[in-house]
Amino acid sequence: MSPRGSAAGRTHPARDDSPRVAPAVTSVDEPASPSKPGPDEPAEPPAREDGISDRWSDLLDYLSDAAALIGLDPDVHARLRVPRRILEVAVPIQRDDGRVEVFTGWRVHHNTSRGPGKGGIRFHPALDRREVSALAAAMTFKTALMDLPFGGAKGGVRCDPMSLSLAELERLTRRYTWEIITLLGPDKDVPAPDVNTDGRVMGWLMDTISLARGENVASSVTGKPTVIGGTEEHAGSTASGVVHVVRDVFAELGVQPAGRRAVVEGFGKVGAPLTFLLHSAGLRVVAVSDIGGAVYNPGGLDVASLSAHAARTGSVAGFPGGDPLDPTELFAVPSDLAVPAALEGTIDEKIAASVAAPVVVEAANGPITADADRILDARGVVVVPDILANAGGVIDSYFEWAQNRQGVAWEQGVGGRLLQRIMHKAFAEVWARSQSLHADLRRTAYAVATQRVADAMTARGLFP
């Protein structure tokens, strides 16, 4: 029996998936907050004036579904619908040509009842307050689902990092860190890499925090270079977690992975190592796409050659070991597994109607819109949600944070074994609960996570 559930009662307006590119300046309708946060008063992200559904709206719907499944206390539900803290800051930097440009940045704490905030920092031209808030909330539920001692946070700067020189990128990172520094610390908020950020950026961030505090604070940031306290496993941890989930869901469905066909959207920090790991697990990766194009080979792509080609040219497009493919047709390719590993909202209603694989595992954050999720549910497609499937990254971040706090590096391989154990335990619990609740995996995952957050909130009480 596959874990499917009715999506009846959920209504979602049509979504506009066109790029929302905002100017890289502080907007007039969203004034920047001062560098120090105000009182701990909740502030819900402002609604979009066009009434279009977005990631924040979708997440509130998932929360409502979970609340109904577990009979959540209405007072707790009301508190979870609003981020605890939203800090919006102006991020002025001097460009290489001497002029000053002002960007807008955010750091959001959704809920910290289970521990310090945990979540990445992204640099992207379409970033806005609602998206950051939604990502922070997703981290609340992801860390709870994995039973980690963290809450949910997220942050970033609305900018196009490709338009910045290396020196400008460093200045942007350090100024942004300075503006949100009152929120950061090992017991308050621990950032990590996300879209368009990496270990180098995390190194600058950690150094800025350490300089401000006058002491080395390695445990204030995760995803750092290994020479300053990072872990060797972090780079591939998200991909490793996804593969563990793929094995588990295939096992529950009675499917042997060997020889099964897979398609992967995205060939970046997650997609590239994931493609290699899927191949190593015995699957045939028949199609891959990235921002430059897509390539298809029904017999299976030579992953090692594809990686070398992408490293040399910057894209999988033009790979001689496969045929060119329209990226919009990637998920329509005959396959047994589809893995979106790019950005949010790439699978909309139109794409969902053409998905050929019976199993979709979300390696990216929010790659399926709520309307598309409803279509996949109606078609009987098993979807393993992001807060379960891509949690390998935050699990490894927890390991890095713990080692930095202890001042002791673990032996090689310990982290990998613990990651597999945590991922397997979480998947097994969600799968079993989905059977008893007669609900799909997404609703069940949010139900399990919401209950854990609610229990922590109840145990702590409400002050004053």
Same domain, 121 and 152: yes
Average pLDDT, the chain: 90
Q: What angle do CA 426, 69, 249 make, to 5 degrees?
A: 30
pLDDT for res 317: 96
Tokens representing 93?
């930097």
Q: How confident is the model at residue 343 (pLDDT cuts 50, 70, 90)?
A: confident
Same domain, 180 and 122: yes
> Is residue 210, in this structure, part of any structural domain at all?
yes
Contact 275, 303 (CB under 8 A): yes
Active-site hit among 118, 142, 154, 224? 154
> Is residue 400, in this structure, part of any structural domain at all?
no
Q: How confident is the model at residue 3 (pLDDT cuts 50, 70, 90)?
A: low
380, pLDDT greater than 90: yes
15, pLDDT greater than 60: no
Residues 117 and 114: their CA atoms lie apart, in Å, by 9
Domain CATH number, residue 379: 3.40.50.720
Average pLDDT over residues 76-95: 98
pLDDT for res 54: 85
Same domain, 264 and 314: yes
Same domain, 212 and 240: no
> Is residue 9, in this structure, part of any structural domain at all?
no
Contact 427, 50 (CB under 8 A): no
Same domain, 109 and 186: yes
Q: How confident is the model at residue 233 (pLDDT cuts 50, 70, 90)?
A: confident
**The last residue of a domain, from among 356, 389, 422:** 389
| Residue range 192-230, pLDDT digits in tens | 999 999 999 999 999 999 999 999 999 999 999 999 999
Same domain, 193 and 92: yes
Known catalytic residue at 224: no
> Is residue 431, in this structure, part of any structural domain at all?
no
Average pLDDT over residues 349-374: 96
Residues 412 and 403: their CA atoms lie apart, in Å, by 13
Instruction: Measure the CA dihedral 261/264/268/274, to 10°.
Output: -40
Same domain, 121 and 265: no
Same domain, 261 and 207: no
Average pLDDT over residues 89-103: 98
7, pLDDT greater than 50: no
**The last residue of a domain, from among 389, 404, 424:** 389
> Is residue 177, in this structure, part of any structural domain at all?
yes
> Is residue 13, in this structure, part of any structural domain at all?
no
Same domain, 294 and 215: no
Same domain, 194 and 317: no
Same domain, 241 and 271: yes
Average pLDDT over residues 316-345: 96
The whole model's pTM is what?
Answer: 0.88
pLDDT for res 43: 54
> Is residue 4, in this structure, part of any structural domain at all?
no
Bridging pattern class, strands 117-124 and 151-158: parallel
16, pLDDT greater than 80: no
Q: Which domain holds residue 382?
A: 236-389
% pLDDT > 70, the chain: 89
Same domain, 118 and 170: yes
Residues 169 and 183: their CA atoms lie apart, in Å, by 21
**The last residue of a domain, from among 329, 360, 389:** 389
> Is residue 363, in this structure, part of any structural domain at all?
yes
Average pLDDT over residues 157-177: 98
Across the strands, what pairs with 285? 262
308, pLDDT greater than 70: yes
Q: For the chain, how many structural domains are there in total? A: 2
Tokens representing 355?
């998905």
Domain CATH number, residue 81: 3.40.50.10860
